[in-house]
């Protein structure tokens, strides 16, 4: 862990600890509060619900027109990197949870809110601590697990140790969407810059990713997490940014990023199979996000989209893929017709289709069981 990230983690830890001191047993928790279970979300900008709003970082989405279709906030930006709901929001809602998982760093993430779900995801974050340092600040997966450890202790205070353990093990789902930045904002950065490519082969870097992720999943398991859904890396060579800077045609994708994603995804699936065989009482569900998104990109018209290449919100180049979404960006008139909201992230319409597949359990995309069955375990 870099010294910079360690200091940031310590400062936020101390602030959070002070802020949450009142989360003690005087809060009355009823059975109804625990009825729907909790969603604990880890990952990057694909599922960040606003943590980066509270960081001094270059990676932020709390500016319009981001969130223009997010009705709970009246169409105002919340820090979500899309026009509406993220996959994490949609899945939690579909599983019957009455509240969205709140950003961990938000000041209202206290008391009973911890029992409904917490979002630890951070735009620019990755499995490796060095990933995303071009953004200055972000929460790596290691730090996100550190923060869940704090939440776990607070839940003990709210429920008592025995009841808390039962709630975490039986009624809580742990969703992890991470890995894209480890390639886009680490390994694939220019060799003469700060990317890991200067010192590691693709095989060596992917070995490091898998070993780090294994350790992170083990840490969550030791904190009583038992129900996991882990997404693989999508077709990052097909995002509008990559298509634009490489001056590709509409039906083309950049080969190297996709090749690395596929290589990592094979290893991830094997890791989850290994952990399902070894970790007593746990279920690790594999979400094939790569195949789901590639299906939308390839057959976009079948799903009601008019383009899977051009960003709805962005500027620059054929696919509006160079300048991130912001107040000066051009914006499409029908946001439901674009697979991509901005140069990097899916639209809410795409997120809804992806979430539906994961919930209903087509074994082509989610295995060994669906998210609905995972909830009912």
CA 341, CA 335: separation in Å to the nearest integer?
Answer: 7
CA 255, CA 237: separation in Å to the nearest integer?
Answer: 6
As for how many domains the chain has, the answer is 1
pLDDT tens digits along 60-109: 999 999 999 999 999 999 999 999 999 999 999 999 888 999 999 999 99
CA 370, CA 173: separation in Å to the nearest integer?
Answer: 12
Nearest to 121 by CA among 152, 153, 65, 79: 79
Catalytic option among 45, 122, 180, 309: 45
Active site residue 342: yes
Active site residue 330: no
CATH code (residue 175): 3.40.50.1110
pLDDT tens digits along 241-270: 999 999 999 999 999 999 999 999 999 999
Per-residue pLDDT of the chain (377 residues; tens, 9 = 90+): 444 445 555 555 555 554 544 444 468 888 888 998 999 999 999 999 999 999 999 999 999 999 999 999 999 999 999 999 999 999 999 998 889 999 999 999 999 999 999 999 999 999 999 999 999 999 999 999 999 999 999 999 999 999 999 999 999 999 999 999 999 999 998 754 555 666 789 999 999 999 999 999 999 999 999 999 999 999 999 999 999 999 999 999 999 999 999 999 999 999 999 999 999 999 999 999 999 999 999 999 999 999 999 999 999 888 999 999 999 999 999 999 999 999 999 999 999 999 999 998 889 999 999 999 999 98
pLDDT at 257: 97
CA 313, CA 317: separation in Å to the nearest integer?
Answer: 13
pLDDT at 362: 87
Catalytic option among 345, 347, 355, 370: 345
pLDDT at 197: 63
Q: Which domain holds residue 12?
A: 3-20+27-376
Active site residue 20: no
Catalytic option among 44, 182, 288, 342: 342
Question: How many angstroms separate the Cα of 64 from the Cα of each of 68, 105, 107, 311?
Answer: 7, 21, 22, 15
């Amino acid at each position: 862990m870099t010294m910079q990230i360690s200091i940031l983690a310590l400062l936020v830890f101390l602030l959070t600890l002070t802020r949450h001191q009142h989360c003690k047993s005087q809060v009355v928790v009823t059975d109804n509060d625990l009825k729907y279970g909790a969603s604990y979300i880890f990952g990057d900008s694909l599922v960040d619900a606003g943590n980066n709003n509270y960081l001094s970082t270059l990676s932020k989405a709390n500016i319009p027109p981001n969130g223009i279709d997010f009705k709970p906030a009246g169409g105002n930006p919340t820090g979500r990197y899309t026009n509406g709901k993220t996959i994490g929001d949609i899945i939690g809602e579909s599983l019957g949870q009455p509240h969205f998982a709140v950003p961990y760093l938000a000041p209202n993430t206290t008391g009973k809110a911890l029992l409904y779900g917490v979002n630890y995801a951070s735009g620019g974050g990755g499995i490796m601590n060095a990933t995303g340092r071009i953004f200055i600040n972000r929460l790596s997966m290691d730090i996100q697990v550190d923060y869940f450890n704090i939440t776990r202790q607070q839940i003990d205070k709210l429920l008592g140790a025995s009841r808390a353990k039962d709630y975490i093990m039986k009624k809580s789902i742990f969703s992890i969407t991470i890995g894209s930045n480890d390639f886009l904002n680490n390994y694939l950065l220019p060799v003469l810059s700060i990317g890991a490519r200067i010192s590691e082969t693709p095989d060596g870097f992917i070995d490091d990713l898998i070993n780090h992720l294994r350790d992170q999943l083990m840490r969550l398991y030791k904190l009583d997490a038992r129900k996991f859904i882990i997404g693989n890396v999508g077709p990052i060579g097909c995002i509008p940014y990559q298509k634009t800077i490489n001056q590709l045609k509409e039906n083309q994708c950049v080969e190297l990023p996709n090749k690395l994603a596929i290589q990592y995804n094979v290893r991830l699936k094997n890791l989850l199979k290994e952990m399902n065989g070894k970790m007593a009482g746990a279920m690790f569900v594999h979400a094939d996000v790569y195949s789901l998104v590639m299906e939308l990109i390839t057959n976009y018209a079948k799903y009601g989209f008019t383009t899977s290449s051009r960003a709805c919100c962005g500027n620059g180049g054929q696919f509006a893929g160079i300048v991130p979404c912001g107040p000066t960006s051009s914006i499409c008139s029908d946001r439901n017709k674009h697979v991509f909201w901005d140069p990097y992230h899916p639209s809410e319409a795409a997120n809804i289709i992806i979430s539906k597949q994961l919930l209903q359990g087509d074994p082509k995309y989610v295995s060994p069981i669906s998210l609905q069955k995972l909830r009912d375990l």
